Structure 1
Amino acid sequence: MKTSFASSYPNHLTVPQESVNRYGTSYRRRRRSQGIKIESARSQNQNEKEDLDFNDLEKYDNFYHTTKSLLVLFQVMGVMPIERNKGHTTFRWRSPAIIWSYALFTVETFFVGLVFKSRLNLIMQPGKPFDEYIYGFIFLSILIPHFLLPLVAWSNGAEVVKFKNMWTRFQLKFLQVTGHQIVFKKLEIICNSFCICSWLLSIVITIAQYYLQPDMLLWHTFGYYHILAMLNGLVSLWYINTTSMGKVADRLSDLLKEALQEESDEKLADYRDIWVDLSHMLQQFGKGYSGLYACMYLLVPVTTIVATFGCVTEIMDHGLSLKEAGLFIIAIYCCVLLFIFCNEAYVATNKMGSDFRDVLMSINMTLVGSRIQQEINMFLTAIQKNPPNMNLNGYTIINRKLLSTTVTSVATYLVILMQFRMTLMRNSIGHSTGNKTVTNNMAVDVDI
């Protein structure tokens, strides 16, 4: 994905003696005497200003225009029923989007419930091979996120809207402060490709399991398409947002270097303000989607453990076959999701944190003025007090350390399960040997 920053600055946004508030909208400094107006005129001017702000927000929200397809996909799937108006995003519990989500969720729940019941009955049947129990457990666990969707997704709709509006206002503020417009050139193509691939990958994986599992019926597959597509869409959303914020951080870092070379304390102060907004936006992204990604993170390691354990044990017992290939596909799929989830968060965090810190620390403080020294120290303090950590509403920090910790936990549980299985096998062999010895002794007694 390539990001360009247009340097043309709109004339209607260039206002002398203009300041920028914390939301990214501009306002003019005025004396108190200038603020005394007739109420009707004041209301009219305020409405005109709001219309102008929303028009500007809509016009320069390049991120929304390039990622609109993913937003529409989540609306159609009923995952995140938010609405986009001119220049801002809203969430209402009585909106057409939420009503559609209610209806779709009701129909899907009825069908998913039938699939869940059918799969559970298959597991409860005695005398089934071990690998079929493994398959049954995995595909029962994959159905669980569907039932949790209203709790983990819709309940955080207000926080998601807050993040979306932060993105919108940040782009306008970036333009007002730096004079450069944020333009994501290839993001629209990438986003459209992700939307298509999310469903194609879901269909391919589910159909593959249908042919590799003897007890999976064709109508069972229709209960999994939208769930796997949702997981793929969430990973796509994660990649797009973290990569986009990382690209903006790269550009802001370049502007910071130019400001340090020019020794402009005013630009340093402005860029520090933009950096704080970018850091807060990164944290709000994790907070807004914390329920969905927490559910995904809990599902992926458990599925990986069970699938890998089943694959290894079946290969040890019966050798490599197509049936074990199904478990292998699921394990690899989960590992890829987990890697993208942790790695992209780590990259974005580094670009916003350590990279900026390195740029500021590389300056020889003895060669710059006192104002520049003060601004550099304030910037470093802002980075320290507002660390750009990607976290899920404070429950856990997403980075490569979480990836290594999860892999270690998966390996530990696999070793424990293998030891438990070997113990059961030894006990079974010992029990069979004991029964055989008793039988032989009884045969000797009879011969005597």
Structure 2
Amino acid sequence: MEVSDLAHLYGKELHIKQISKWLRGSARAQEISKRAQLNSSDGHIIDKHDQFFRDHKLLLVLFRVLGVMPVQRGEIGRITFGWTSVPMLYAYVFYVVTTVLVVLVGYERFDILLNKSKKFDEYIYSILFIIYLVPHFFTPFVGWGVAYEVCDYKNSWGRFQLHYYKITGKDLEFPLLSTLIIVISLGCLILAVVFLLTLSALLEGFTLYHTTAYLHIITMINMNCALWYINCRAIGNASTALAAAFENDIEHNCSGYIIAHYRVLWLSLSELLQKLGNAYARTYSTYSLFMMTNITIAVYGFTSEIVDHGIRFSFKEVGLLVDATYCLFLFFVFCDCSHQASLNIADRVQTSLMKIELNKVDKGTRKEIDLFLIAIQMNPPKVSLKGYNVVNREMVSASVATIAIYLIVLLQFKIGLLNMRG
């Protein structure tokens, strides 16, 4: 495709204004034209239609409390971040206090690993407990360091919702999202508390004092998965609403003007999905590596115990298996919800376009249908972590294959050592 054609395809507002000249008499076109006068840079207008912010406000508060993402509604209609803002000052203090706890507990865990761990299962557990402390030190890089990009992504939601209102005449809704956030957030906290108290009660050397260093880390790991799920679910809600509105419009008023507007709206939603991946690229790249490392070590520890002593299913063996299963579950949720969000954006709208009977519409409408289909083909909706990886179900299978390779190598090395000793 020539550069001029691309410019025509993506010259969104100009193209719509051109085709609106021959549809000024349409009542539907006049409605859209009237709402198009709303100023997208007016914070009050954005705030009025920003239902996504109102529904997921609690999630932003929780991440501020954890000191991970100190962003705020600093201006009407806009999410802001500043290195000297009140949430950031709180994050500094919180990070310093928790760092002291993490270093003290980490020192004790290293001491147990180097001087007190004699059995293999104790050694593996000590390594895992040390690895669980590592995410704390990533916070400035994967949290504060991407705050400006996260603000841009969050603010894009406000613009998209206003755009949706201009075209459909309705505010975008997110059914049960606020309730779901409350339930998931409480679940993440309760799960972290129960997990740590169980370890403290059943594992020798894991005192109640140690749980203070792990509580915010385990909660943060759980909440990161919840954050990704909520964002993907919201994009799924938006794509479903867009598709439903589009189907209704083309059923009653299938015109080039309407289709052109929905093409621009669809491209905005696809861009929103891409911004999600770009904004949190650092966060979820390290998140994925952390999960893979945990799964590999936990499964290796479990299979090594089987090789050494057979299947006994002691508490420590089951603990390793539960740790691996838990991390794999979180990793699967992370990849699967991205996959579902990507599918939802394209499939239903594309199907609706394909169902339009071309012999019953005019030449201009047929051209707009072609342009919409080309836009979908050239902009496949996908979540990419700044090009390093595409987050979908294939990422799960590829990661499991990589983990399996490492496990085979490690087990071969262990069996080789046992044969040498024998």
Q: Distance in 1 between the 2:56 and 2:81 partners?
A: 18
Give the aligned CA root-mean-square deviation in angstroms.
Answer: 1.9
5+ residue gaps, structure 1, are 1-13, 28-48, 430-448
**Residue number in structure 2 paired with 1:371:** 364
**Do the aligned partners of 2:32 and 2:166 also contact (CA within 8 Å) in 1?**
no
| Offset of residue 264 of structure 1 | 1.7
1:134 to 109, 124, 137: 124
Q: Distance in 2 between the 1:81 and 1:387 partners?
A: 32
| Offset of residue 62 of structure 1 | 1.1
| CA offsets 1:70-119 (integer angstroms, 9 cap, x no match) | 11000111010001132111111110111110111011111101111111
SS of the aligned residue for 1:157 comes to helix
Q: Which has the larger radius of gyration?
A: 1
Mapping of residues 200-211 of structure 1, within 5 Å? 200-211=190-201
Q: Distance in 2 between the 1:135 and 1:16 partners?
A: 61
Mapping of residues 210-289 of structure 1, within 5 Å? 210-261=200-251, 262-289=253-280
| Offset of residue 413 of structure 1 | 1.8
| Offset of residue 367 of structure 1 | 4.2
**Do the aligned partners of 1:208 and 1:326 also contact (CA within 8 Å) in 2?**
no
- Count of residue correspondences: 389
SS of the aligned residue for 1:353 comes to helix
**Residue number in structure 1 paired with 2:38:** 26
Q: Distance in 2 between the 1:423 and 1:97 partners?
A: 54
Q: Distance in 1 between the 2:416 and 2:201 partners?
A: 33
**1:171 and 2:164 aligned:** no
**Do the aligned partners of 2:46 and 2:162 also contact (CA within 8 Å) in 1?**
yes
Mapping of residues 31-42 of structure 1, within 5 Å? none
The one-letter code sitting in structure 2 at the alignment partner of 1:254 is A
Please give the TM-score of this superposition, normalised by the length of structure 2: 0.88
Mapping of residues 37-76 of structure 1, within 5 Å? 53-76=42-65
**Do the aligned partners of 2:173 and 2:237 also contact (CA within 8 Å) in 1?**
no
**Do the aligned partners of 2:32 and 2:167 also contact (CA within 8 Å) in 1?**
no
| Offset of residue 339 of structure 1 | 0.8
2:291 to 300, 313, 325: 300
Q: Distance in 2 between the 1:92 and 1:183 partners?
A: 30
Please give the TM-score of this superposition, normalised by the length of structure 1: 0.83
The one-letter code sitting in structure 1 at the alignment partner of 2:61 is V
SS of the aligned residue for 1:183 comes to coil
**1:348 and 2:341 aligned:** yes
**1:125 and 2:118 aligned:** no
Mapping of residues 149-188 of structure 1, within 5 Å? 149-188=139-178
SS of the aligned residue for 2:132 comes to helix
**Do the aligned partners of 1:287 and 1:392 also contact (CA within 8 Å) in 2?**
yes
**Do the aligned partners of 1:152 and 1:291 also contact (CA within 8 Å) in 2?**
yes
The one-letter code sitting in structure 2 at the alignment partner of 1:78 is G
The one-letter code sitting in structure 2 at the alignment partner of 1:66 is D
| CA offsets 1:140-165 (integer angstroms, 9 cap, x no match) | 11111111110111111110000111
Q: Distance in 1 between the 2:394 and 2:282 partners?
A: 21
Q: Distance in 2 between the 1:421 and 1:126 partners?
A: 22
**Residue number in structure 1 paired with 2:14:** none
SS of the aligned residue for 2:410 comes to helix
The one-letter code sitting in structure 2 at the alignment partner of 1:70 is L
SS of the aligned residue for 1:89 comes to strand
The one-letter code sitting in structure 2 at the alignment partner of 1:259 is D
Q: Distance in 1 between the 2:330 and 2:117 partners?
A: 34
| CA offsets 1:177-211 (integer angstroms, 9 cap, x no match) | 11121122311111111111111111112222223
Q: Distance in 1 between the 2:348 and 2:406 partners?
A: 37
The one-letter code sitting in structure 1 at the alignment partner of 2:380 is P
Check 1:127–1:351 CA distance in 2 against 1; reply closer, same or farther (3 A cut).
Answer: closer
Check 1:212–1:362 CA distance in 2 against 1; reply closer, same or farther (3 A cut).
Answer: farther
**Do the aligned partners of 1:160 and 1:289 also contact (CA within 8 Å) in 2?**
yes
SS of the aligned residue for 1:182 comes to coil
Q: Distance in 2 between the 1:412 and 1:366 partners?
A: 56
Q: Distance in 1 between the 2:401 and 2:333 partners?
A: 17
**Residue number in structure 2 paired with 1:5:** none
**Residue number in structure 2 paired with 1:193:** 183
**Do the aligned partners of 1:212 and 1:326 also contact (CA within 8 Å) in 2?**
no
**Residue number in structure 2 paired with 1:442:** none
SS of the aligned residue for 2:173 comes to strand
| Offset of residue 398 of structure 1 | 0.1
Q: Distance in 2 between the 1:195 and 1:282 partners?
A: 23
5+ residue gaps, structure 2, are 1-29
Q: Distance in 2 between the 1:402 and 1:212 partners?
A: 35
Q: Distance in 1 between the 2:90 and 2:200 partners?
A: 30
Moved more, 255-264 or 385-394: 255-264
SS of the aligned residue for 1:239 comes to helix
The one-letter code sitting in structure 1 at the alignment partner of 2:58 is S
| Offset of residue 325 of structure 1 | 1.8
Q: In percent, how many aligned pairs have the same letter?
A: 34
**Do the aligned partners of 1:212 and 1:323 also contact (CA within 8 Å) in 2?**
no
**Residue number in structure 1 paired with 2:384:** 391
